[in-house]
Every structure is written in C-alpha cells, then in structure tokens.
Amino acid sequence: MRKLAVLAVLGISFSIATGADRVDAPSITIMIECRGAVRQISVRTAPFKYNKDFAWSFTLDDGVASGALVAFPYFNGGRVAPSLKGEWGIDQGGDGQDYPGLFFTDGCGNKVPFRAAVAINGKSIGRSGFLSWGQVGTLYKAGWDVFNHGYAHATGNGVDVDFECRENNRIVREKGGITMRQFVVPGGAGETISEGPYTKAAFDQGMEAVHDGHVPGHVLLMDTALSLREMRAGRQFLFAGNIPDSAETYFREIRELLQAGKKPWFNAFTHGTGNDNLWRISLPFPDLKIFFGRLEKEYGQNGKDNVWFASFQEVQEYSLIRQSLVYSVRKKGNRIYIRIDTGKLPPGLRHRCQTFILDGGQAIERVSCTGGSVESFSKNAAGSKLVNWCF
C-alpha cells in the first residue's frame, strides 16, 4: 500500500478557553469505495464548503422579532408572518404567505437552505418586539448562528465592556444553551468611543471574530493568505434606500471578482426585516425578497449554484479547520483511504465539516467514515468528485 499524498498545512494555532469540544479519536479515516480499481487519484480540500466559488454571510443585528417571523421562514421555507404592528408602532411582520425557501446544493444533488446569524443582546431577549428564547433556540437548531452583541447594547464612555461581553455570554449560555464565538460591536451614539475596548474585551474572552462597521472592506479573498485567528471583519450594510438600486453595484462586484478568478467571501448585515423600516436602519421585507431572491436565482440552486450562503462563523470555522488539516491518502484496489490527524484540528468549534475534492478515479459507490460522519458524496464517473464529511 503506497502512500500517494501527504498534505500538512500548519501555522494556525487556535483554542477556545471555555466549553471547548474535543476530538477524542486519535484519527479519522474516510474509506471511499469506487466502481473499479483506482489507478490515479489526487485529493485536495475545497476552498469553500461544497466546493462553491464564493461565500455570502449575513447577520441580523439586535435580535428583533422579524428575524424569526420573516427572514427565517423566507430563507428556510415556511409561512412568513402576516402584518404585525407591535412595539414602537412598527410592522415586524410580512405578507402571511408561504415561501419555498432559498437554496443552493451541496454539490451532490441535495438542497441546503440559506443560513444566517442573529446578533443579540441578552437583556432584550424575551421583551416585546424582540426574539424570545424559544425563537433563538429554533434558529440555532436550524443551523443559524448566534452572535454576542453586548448584554445591553451599551456604547460610549464609561461602558464596562468586559461585563457587557461576559454577561451576554453567560446569559445566552444559561438561557439558550449556546456558546457564542463571534462578537458584533454595538452601533449608535458613542460607538467609536467604545469600539476599541469592545474589540479587546471580545478577543480576551475567546471570540473568534469581531464584526465592526468601521473596519474597511466587506470582502475577504480566500485565495490570499488570511489571518483567521482573532479576525476583525468589515461589513456591508443592507438597508431601505440602497435596495434595489444599489443591488446592481453589489451584484456587479460579485461578477467582477468571479470573472477575475477570485474566491470572495462577502459579509453583510441589517437589523429588522419586517414590512416597515425599523429604526430607519433595516431591510424591509419587499427589499429582502428583491435582493436575496435575485441572489438565489443567479447563484443558488436555480442559477449557477456556486454560492455558499452561511454565517460568518460557519465559513470562518471551515477555513480554520482547512488550514489546520493534516491528512494522508492511500489506495488499495478499488478503495481510497484518507486518514486525518485529529491532533492538529482546532478545538471548540461548532461547525466541524470539510469538503474533499477527488480528481481522477472511478465513480464512487460508497463512503464510510470512522471517527466522523459522511454528509454526502457525488457519484459522477468523470471529472471531480466531492466528499462532504463532518467530525
């Protein structure tokens, strides 16, 4: 049995101080059984999960109710809430209609819904106009992520940023059973005063990334050397008034980067997604449908199917694993064995998945995984084949 390839990508050392999950097995072995004898094969990791050309990450700040009432059923598929005027006299509902959801595929013929994130203030959850703890749990179980936005959304001089970050982590873990790993700097009056201290406090408390509208740029390029530890992330603000007109600018940006052969990762956000423009800093439901409906039509399952729509946390954690992955490949008869050294995998991550690309070889008949699980695999006889796996 001759070893065909060994890939060792080191240089990233990453740990989370609290609640870290551990990989107990010393190694993970993926066994791929092909239709015929394997003569030539190469195995590589995909820059993005499912081997997509670009990633799009979207966050809803402040934990307002429309995230669960409107955005979630529109993305995931389901009934959007009808018009619902409540707190602040603002309509946080939609049109009461059923929607099929927005999807891309896993590269193996299976649909995957658009998944976003909510950035919440623990002090507000359960109050009128905001998400309930039950709604937060529903989003999380559906694959959405939950980000730390400070306990009380406090900004300005004299803010106890350590408390705001720590207390929000505590209450969300206590009430929702969720360990947050991303921090969104609260905006508003005095935000620039507390911006730096919040960033330091978040990283000191083990956050993977800090999202801040003052950080230049909302596009990261995965074909460059990215520093994935303690990332500071810029953001693209989607709101009423810049959709639909500015959508042309955003979609042109996607086209130009892809045409240039880049692997872009976009980071966008808004606040409310109901019928009204909540606090005049939101993306009303009609605009949400225009923008994201077009994104799916052009780049989702009904278009080129080359977008990975996932939260910033999911994309970052995939990339952290990919940069840390050490594996070897061997073949025997009609089987390919990929052995992953778990000692190099970063601990404490929620999203623990990867995509292998296999070039050459016969069509895949069966895939099994010891120490992990197989999400899906492609069966095409010619060209590249995908194996999506988790641990």
User: The domain spanning residue 79 has which CATH number?
Assistant: 3.20.20
Q: Find all residues with CB under 8 Å of 80, minimum gap 6, and list them.
A: 69, 70, 73, 74, 93, 94, 95, 96, 97, 98, 99, 285
Asked if residue 318 belongs to a domain, the reply is no
Asked if residue 312 belongs to a domain, the reply is no
147: its two tokens: 């980000």
Which pLDDT belongs to residue 19? 31
342: its two tokens: 């778990």
Asked if residue 144 belongs to a domain, the reply is yes
343, 221: one domain:
no
Which pLDDT belongs to residue 14? 25
Beta bridge partners of 340: 28, 327
Range 12-28 burial, b when 16+ CB lie within 10 A, else e: bebebeeeeeebeeebb
Helix, strand, or coil (residue 355) = strand
| Closest residue by Cα to residue 287 from 273, 271, 266 | 273
Q: Which range marks the domain in which residue 37 is found?
A: 3-49+339-390
Which pLDDT belongs to residue 24? 54
pLDDT tens string for the chain (391 positions)?
333 333 332 222 222 222 333 445 679 999 999 999 999 999 999 999 999 999 999 999 999 999 999 999 999 999 999 999 999 999 999 999 999 999 999 999 999 999 999 999 999 999 999 999 999 999 999 999 999 999 999 999 999 999 999 999 999 999 999 999 999 999 998 999 999 999 999 999 999 999 999 999 999 999 888 889 999 999 999 999 878 677 889 999 999 999 999 999 999 999 999 999 999 999 999 999 999 999 999 999 999 999 999 999 999 999 999 999 999 999 999 999 999 999 988 899 999 999 999 998 789 999 999 999 999 999 877 789 999 999 9
352, 227: one domain:
no
Asked if residue 330 belongs to a domain, the reply is no
Number of domains into which the chain is organized: 2
Which pLDDT belongs to residue 17? 28
3: its two tokens: 């070893």
Cα–Cα distances (Å) from 104 to 45, 236, 296, in that order, read 20, 22, 7
Written as one string, the DSSP assignment of 80-121 is PP---B-GGG-B------EE---EEE-SSS-EEE---EEEE-
107, 87: one domain:
yes
Asked if residue 265 belongs to a domain, the reply is yes
Between CA 387 and CA 367 the distance in angstroms is 8
Range 304-323 burial, b when 16+ CB lie within 10 A, else e: ebbbbbbbbbbbbbbbbbbb
78, 195: one domain:
yes
Between CA 37 and CA 322 the distance in angstroms is 29
106, 205: one domain:
yes
43, 127: one domain:
no
108, 79: one domain:
yes
The model's pTM? 0.92
Which pLDDT belongs to residue 123? 98
97, 218: one domain:
yes
Asked if residue 89 belongs to a domain, the reply is yes
Which pLDDT belongs to residue 18? 28
